[in-house]
Chains A and B, each alone.
Chain A
Amino acid sequence: MSTKTKTTDETETHRVIDDWVDALRNKNADGVLSHYAPGLVHFSLAPPLLSSVSDAKGLKEWFATWQGPIGYEVRDPSVTVGNDVAFSHSLNRMHGTKIDGTKGDLWFRHTFGFQKIDGEWKIAHEHESVPFYMDGSYKAAVDLKP
């Protein structure tokens, strides 16, 4: 693979991540879903803070539980790109106010698996998680900051 192609593919996968995040922030369900490959395998965090749905109806219902736009930040995404398969990892933050007034603010670990399908990079796999405390409580660590 040429260096030029690799640079282009890196740029394109970063652009997919940026577009997907913009769609999430703006509660654009079709925009979010347009980046997923058929047969997406999603290891999600449980709702209510993060959505586990990957269909338009479920996403719209989940978006409706938030007041205004959703805060979403991707910290230092690292993308490893081949000619037709890529993966990325990053620390992501989601924050905002739910319609019942509760505030949500969560940092979590995020991994994407990408596949190039008909010349376009699509998200074929997504994995979101938080670690667990090993202090005997085994509680999910939902109060971390990188």
Chain B
Amino acid sequence: MSKKNKATDEAQIRALVESWAKAVRAKDMDGALSHHARDILMFDVPMPLQSKGLEEYRKTWELFFDHTPGGSGSFDVTELQITAGQGVAFAHAILKVGESSARLTIGLRNEDGQWLIAHEHHSYPVG
């Protein structure tokens, strides 16, 4: 893959992640789900162990929206590093949720020229 394509893919994924985080801050459910594959596999901070598919993924945001004040500083993606290849990419970042910092990993695949999030892993370290 050319460097130009790689830079384009990274820019597209960065914009996608920023748009997703903005939707979460606005408690905009449609926006929060709009970049995701139907078969997304989510490892979230609260129970359960895993959430399979878009409907279960939606429930993780219903829970979060019930607890978050929303708005500025409520869900900011920082230190985002993207590794994009042809067709598949992953990214990791530190999520600032109010005063706390969580770890975020995203797995993406490209379908018909569009990047879709197929896996998310949100967590805090134990202890």
A interface list, Cβ under 8 A from B? 1, 41, 43-46, 78, 80-87, 89, 91, 107, 109, 111, 113, 115-116, 124-125, 127, 129-134, 140-142, 144, 146
Interface of B is mostly: strand
Shortest CB–CB separation between residue B40 and chain A, in angstroms? 11
Residues of B close to A124: CB separation below 8 A: 83
Q: How far is the CA of A107 from the CA of B48 in the complex (A)?
A: 13
Say what secondary structure dominates the interface of chain A.
strand
Cβ-defined contact, A131 with B119, below 8 A: no
Please list the residues of chain B having a beta carbon within 8 angstroms of any beta carbon in chain A.
1, 41, 43-50, 63, 81, 83-90, 92, 103, 105, 107, 109, 118-119, 121, 123-127
Q: CB distance B84 to A85 under 8 Å? A: yes
- Is the beta-carbon distance between A132 and B45 smaller than 8 angstroms? yes
The answer to whether B83 and A85 touch across the interface, beta carbons within 8 angstroms, is: yes
The 24 sampled A-B contact pairs (Cβ below 8 Å) are: A41-B92, A43-B103, A43-B125, A44-B125, A46-B127, A80-B119, A82-B87, A84-B85, A85-B85, A87-B88, A89-B119, A109-B123, A111-B119, A113-B107, A127-B105, A129-B125, A131-B43, A132-B46, A132-B47, A134-B47, A134-B63, A142-B126, A146-B49, A146-B50
